[in-house]
Amino acid sequence: MNGQSVLCRLSKWTFVACGIWLMVLGGYFMFARPPLLPEDLRYLGSSASQIEVLLPHLASWLQNVFTVMGGFIAGCGVLLIFVSVSAVPQYLRGTGAVLGCAGLLTVATMSWTNFVLDSDFRWLLLAPPIAWLFGLVSYAAGGQAERLIVAVSRPNADAPGE
């Protein structure tokens, strides 16, 4: 097993794991997340009963919002898994940039926002961007190794023929 294939597999399976995590997170938002977490109430500086009196339909509205958001999160996970198993092993041009941009817009933004909000889950939500970064580094290193292997294995065009 050469270095390129190990790095490629590592990158692929890291992104597959990130995709599965996104699908599970999306399912949580669609089916299990309560409208307001204790940290939400702390941030708002109100109790659940105060909010219910002031905004009686907020909980049902938030449930719809979280259903939509969860669907988008899970859909992103499905797409990430597809890209991981199809484009990552082939080192298709632009794959690294797309994965980097997707990670920045999804898991990195989510993690950063949870730190800004002083979320109870902020440290746990630092893991996905770290895993994503690990996948990107593995992908880039594997691509470099592949290019080096191709360059070394090509016959030198400048060498005189026999």
pLDDT tens digit sequence for 1-50: 454 589 999 999 999 999 999 999 999 999 999 999 999 999 999 999 99
Angle between helix 127-153 and helix 3-31 axes, rounded to 10 deg: 150
Q: Any residues with CB less than 8 A from the CB of 130 and at least 6 apart, and which?
A: none
Burial class (CB in 10 A: 0-12, 13-18, 19+), 158: exposed
- Stretch 123-151: mean pLDDT, rounded? 89
**Contact present, 36 and 51 (Cβ < 8 Å):** yes
CA dist 146 and 152 (Å) reads: 10
pLDDT reading at 151 higher than 70? yes
